[in-house]
Structure formats: structure tokens, C-alpha cells
Amino acid sequence: MSAVLEVRGVTRRYQLEGSELQVLQPTDLVIEQGEMIAIVGPSGSGKSTLMHIIGLLDKPTAGEVVVDGQDTASFDQNQLSDLRNKRIGFVFQSFNLLAKTSALANVELPMVYAGIPRGERQRRAKAALERVGLGHRLRNTPAQLSGGQQQRVAIARALVNEPQVVLGDEPTGNLDSTSGVEVMTMLQELHAQGITVVLVTHDDRVARHAERVVRIADGRIVSDEAVQDRIFASHELERLMREKKEVAA
Ligand code: ADP
Ligand code: MG
């Protein structure tokens, strides 16, 4: 296995009206290609801070973030967004879709930034929406879709540049339980297809859908363990992952 994401001695401090708040203590974490990992901890423990740093959305106060073998410490904003856009897909609790824009155009957006021509953008956006089961909802705006469908649009958007890694920050946090299962099914399917999935959650049950759980409290990693009693979002996935393991053994 090779590391796809690595943080070394990463910290994050905020300046607040003259005083300093250190929300992330020196942190080391290696995420291997093809893993499904959950970062779990209570509200305010620093999960989103860590995820934003891992995903190159925020710079650490100290330490290094290595993405696909490249140390990003000396990267400028353009280099960071370029690497992020190519390698990492994001899924957020609140979906972060453009409200007045169709599902298709929302999914095209990362490809606009990547400078991909219009025809190819539309073709790939359509394929990504079909992959998440929304081939019949291309022209609908977010308001015309259920929460679960909106999150599936966001997953399609995260996939459209064929990232190595998908990062999800409380991706089921705004969903009812049925839609939550839908979204966890998608994430486990992506993992089964070889994509590295990093999931941030306050919910132990959601975390147990991963293979490995990193627990964070007060801005530091307090445990890092393989999941013994993994939850599968569907029987089909359970069977698929069993077979994979048997082939590997
Ligand atoms: P979690 O995602 O685990 O709920 P966060 O990473 O969002 O936690 O926040 C960790 C801590 O950092 C919290 O105490 C939060 O108030 C603080 N924090 C987050 N963002 C900022 C910011 N921009 N300025 C100051 N403090 C922040
Ligand atoms: Mg958070």
C-alpha cells in the first residue's frame, strides 16, 4: 500500500481578539490508497479543522500535508487548488450546491475550474449523475430534489474529476435515516471501487461503516483502530467486501 494523504506534525491555531486558540495539537496521520477511514469525535473536537487541512482547503499553522507524494507546504493558492481539484472530492453536511442551478450544471462546476470544454463537461456530468442513480433528474434544481438526492448530486460533483480521495464532513448529518443509508451505500460502493474514502462524523454508528476509525478529542488523536464490527449499508455490499477479502487472503 502507498500513502495517498499524510499529515506530519500538523497544528492549527486561531487568533481571537489578541488571544490564541489551538484547536489542533501536533497531529500525524497516514491514509493509505484504497482505505475507508472515519475520523470521529464530539462536536468542537477539531474534526472539520483536520479535514479542511487534509483536503487543502485550509493551511496548517505548522507541519506538512503530503498529497499523493507531494509536500504541499511551499504550494501557492493556485497550486493548492489545482491539486485539490484533481485529486480530492468533497461532500459536506449542507450539500453546498448552487440553489438556482440544475443538477447537471452543479456537477459540471469542478470541470469549469479544470478548463474542460463544454461538450465533454456535459457528457461527464451526465455520466456521474447516472452513476449515483440520478440520470432522470439532470434538469432539476436542488429545491426540486429530496435531501438524499441533493447529497447524491454533491457526490456526483465530488466524483466528476475522478479523484483518488473523497472526503465527507458529516455527509449524513442533515438527512433522515433512509437518505442517510442511501448516502452511506454510495460511499461504501465508491470504496469498493477503489476510491479512498475519509469520513468525518460525530456519530459512532456512521463511523462503523469505515474499516478504520481514528478518534479525536480536544484537537488530538486519541485512538486509531481497525473496526471489528463493521456495518454494511446493504447486504450486497457485505457480500462484495467478503468476496474481496477472500480473494485477498
Ligand atoms: P468539529 O468539526 O469537530 O465540530 P471544528 O474543527 O469545527 O470541530 O472546531 C474545532 C474548534 O475550533 C472549535 O472550538 C471551534 O470553535 C474552533 N474554530 C473552528 N473554526 C474557527 C475559526 N475560524 N476561528 C476560531 N475558532 C475556530
Ligand atoms: Mg465539524
Q: CA quadruple 201, 207, 209, 214: dihedral positive or negative?
A: positive
Distances (CA, A) of 19 to 13, 15, 16, 23: 10, 6, 5, 13
User: 110 CB under 6 A from ligand 1?
Assistant: no
User: 43 CB under 6 A from ligand 1?
Assistant: yes
**Atom number of ligand 1 nearest to Cα 51:** 6
pLDDT in tens, 183-202: 999 999 999 999 999 999 99
Question: Distance between CA 194 and CA 31 in Å, rounded?
Answer: 14
Pocket test for ligand 1, best of 11, 12, 13, 14 (most atoms within 8 A of CB): 14
User: 150 CB under 6 A from ligand 1?
Assistant: no
Among 159, 229, 221, 232, which residue's Cα sits nearest to residue 190? 159
Tell me: pLDDT of 242 over 90: no
Residue 159: what residue type? L
67: β partners: 5, 70
pTM score of the predicted model:
0.94
pLDDT in tens, 55-67: 999 999 999 999 9
Min mean pLDDT across 97-111, 113-127, 163-177, 232-246 is at 232-246
pLDDT in tens, 1-55: 589 999 999 999 999 888 999 999 999 999 999 999 999 999 999 999 999 999 9
